[in-house]
Structure 1
C-alpha cells in the first residue's frame, strides 16, 4: 500500500502524486474500471482521446451522482460521445448510477502484463488530468493481491448501482456550469471594476482573428499529442488553446509584444495572458492554456455552435456569429480588455 499526495508546498512528502501515478498507469494499462461521483465534460473528452490515440485501455465508467444532482448539457453530451465511441470500437461502456447515489472515487487498473493495481481516495476523474490546479488530493494506491478487493467491489458497484448509459434517459439539465467559476488564477469582476476598466480604454484596438486550423489554434486536441519513448501518446486537453496572431497585427504600434498582462473580459472575468514566440505570434493564457480555451470554446459551446469533441470549423465560427476577438488597450499597459461578444 502506498500513499499518493498532491505534494504542493508547504505539504510536500516523499511519495508519488495521484496525477503522476495515473499518467504512468495509463501508459501500460490494458483495462480500466472507474466509479466516480462527479465528472467534468473535458475529462471525459480527454479520456476518449487517450483511448482513441492509443487503442486502449478498455474502459468501464460509472458516473455516480449526476443522475440525482443533475447533468449539464455539456457533461451529458460528453458522456454520450464517450459511450458511443467505446461501443462502436468494442472498448467498453459508460454507466449511470440511477438506483442510488455513489459518491466514491475508485479506479482499478489491469496492466498489459496482467498485473493489477487500484486507487481509492479523493481524486475525481478531472483532477487526475488537470496539470495546473493546486487542489490538494490524497489517495491510497494498492498493488497486486492488495487490490483484489477493489477490483471485485468495482465490478459489483458498476453493475448493481448503475445502468448502461443508453438505458437511462435524461431530459432535464441544470443551468450551464460556468467553466471559469472558482477556477484557479481566474477572478470574477464586479460591475464597478469593469466600469473603471471601460473608462480607461485608450482607443487602441486589435482584432485577433479566430482561425479554424485543423490541429492548431483552437484545435490542438486533434493533433498527434505528445508521444513518449514507449509509444504512449498523451492527448492535448480539449480546452487547450493558443491563438496564432499574424505579423501584420503584432507589428502594429501598441501591440503588447512579448509581454505578460492581465485581461478583463466582456463577460466579467479577469486572468493573466502573455504573448511570445517569433514576432510575438503566440497569444495565450499564462501558466494554464486551458483558461483562454475555456473562455473562447466554452462560449461557443454555450451558444450551441460548438459540440464538445468536434473541431472548430468555419461553420462553427459562423454559427457563433463572430470571427475575431477584440483586444483593447487601457491607460495601464499591464491591463487589457478582451471582447468576444457575438451579439455586437
Structure 2
C-alpha cells in the first residue's frame, strides 16, 4: 500500500511522498482503461479527465457519479458531464453514469492494462482533486494506492457491480427532468452600478401581484446545424446576427472596436406590441427578474419595438447570457470579431439544455420610487420556456 497525499501547507509532502494527482498520472500512463466511482465531480475535473484520457491515449474510461440523483447537481457540472459523456460515446472511448437508488459516497479508481486491473486507489479524493480550484485548494484529502492484485480485483469487482443497470445508468439515458438541477449564481451582473439584488421572497411577492397581459418574447437563435452549414459553405447566419440575442456578431459600430459579447437587441414583434397594456414608448419602469435582480427598463426605437434596460445597453445581455454562461453552456467571448467559428453564439441547443427559450414580462399593481422621486410601475421579467404555458395573473388568482 502507498499513501497519496494532498500538498497543502503546513502539511507539505515530504521527500519520497507522492500527491494524488501525480499518482493518478503515473498509473494512467501505465493503463489503457480507467474505471472510476466517486461521490462528487466538478466542471473543471471533468474537463481535466477528458484531457488526460486523450493525452494518455486511454482506450476506455467509465465514470460513476454517486451523489447527484438524490442531492441534485449544479447546472454547470451537469451540462459539462452531458457534453463529455456525449463526446466519449461518439468516440467510442467511454461513458459517464449516474448512481440512482442510493447515495454513493465512495472514492474508487481502478486502472486496467490488457483488460486486467493492476492498480487501485481508495480514500477521500473525489474527482475534483484532479483540478485544484478555489473551492478545493484548501481541502486536505488522503488516499491509498494498492497494487496487491487480490485487493485490486476486489475493488474492481465492486465498481463493476456499481456500474450494473440496477445501480446506475448512462447519463444520456436519464430524463433530465428527473434530475434536480441547482441553478448557478449569475455573477455577470455583480458590481454593475444600475442593478440591485432583491431577496427571493420579494420576487415571489411581485409575481403574485401581476395584472393584465403576459407578454412573451421568443429568442431567435440558430441551431448548431445552421452554424456548421455556414462554416462549410462560407456563408453567414445574417438573420441571427442582426437582431435579438446574437446581435454582438453583427457588423461593428466602429472600425476600431467590435461589439461587446453581452450586447443584445431584443426586438418585440408587432403582434406582441399591439396587445393591451404593452409599455408605452420611452416610459421607464422597474423590472424584478425571476432570479432576483432589479433594474430600470423601457421600450424604444421606431414602432416601439426595442425592449432594453435604461442607462446601460449591456445589462439585459449580462442578465440573460450571463445565466447561460453560469450554467456552463457557453463561454463569454472577449473579442467577437475573432470568434469566426461562432463559439460564443447562443444556439437552439443551448436554450433547450437550459430549459428556457423566451422572455416573459408582465406588469404588477405595485410601484416604486425612482432616484429622482418619480413613481414608476414595477414589472416582472422571467427567462422561461414557452412550453411551460405559464398561466395568466387572472388564472393564478382563481387557483
TM-score where L is the length of structure 2? 0.45
Query: What's 2:50 paired with?
Result: 48
- How do 1:50-199 residues align onto structure 2 when only pairs under 5 Å count? 50-111=52-113, 116-130=118-132, 133-145=137-149, 146-159=151-164, 160-171=166-177, 173-178=180-185
Q: Residue 75 and residue 29 in structure 1: after superposition, are their counterparts in 2 closer, same or farther (change >3 A)? A: same
Root-mean-square deviation over aligned CA pairs: 3.7
Q: What is the CA-CA distance between 1:85 and the residue it aligns to?
A: 1.4
Structure 1 unaligned spans of 5+: 181-187, 192-247, 249-298, 321-344
1:308: Cα distance to partner?
5.0
In structure 2, do the counterparts of structure 1 residues 67 and 317 end up closer, same or farther at CA, with 3 Å as the change threshold? Answer: same
Q: Which runs of 5+ in 2 are unaligned?
A: 194-255, 257-319, 334-338, 348-399
Match of 2:5 in 1: 5
Equivalent-residue separation in structure 2 for 1:305 and 1:78 (angstroms): 12
SS of residue paired to 1:84: helix
Q: Are the aligned partners of 1:83 and 1:93 in contact in 2 as well (CA < 8 Å)?
A: yes
Distance 1:127 1:179 in 2: 25
How big is the shift at 1:6? 1.1
Partner SS, residue 45 of structure 1: helix
Rounded to whole Å, the distance in 2 between the matches of 1:3 and 1:88 is: 36
> Partners of 2:51 and 2:111 in 1: how far apart?
18
- Which residue is 1:291 aligned to? none
In structure 2, do the counterparts of structure 1 residues 305 and 318 end up closer, same or farther at CA, with 3 Å as the change threshold? farther
For 1:16-35, what aligned pairs fall within 5 Å after superposition?
16-35=18-37
Q: How much has 1:179 moved relative to structure 2?
A: 9.7
Q: Distance in 2 between matches of 1:4 and 1:143?
A: 13
Structure with the greater alpha carbon radius of gyration: 2
SS in 2 for 1:33: strand
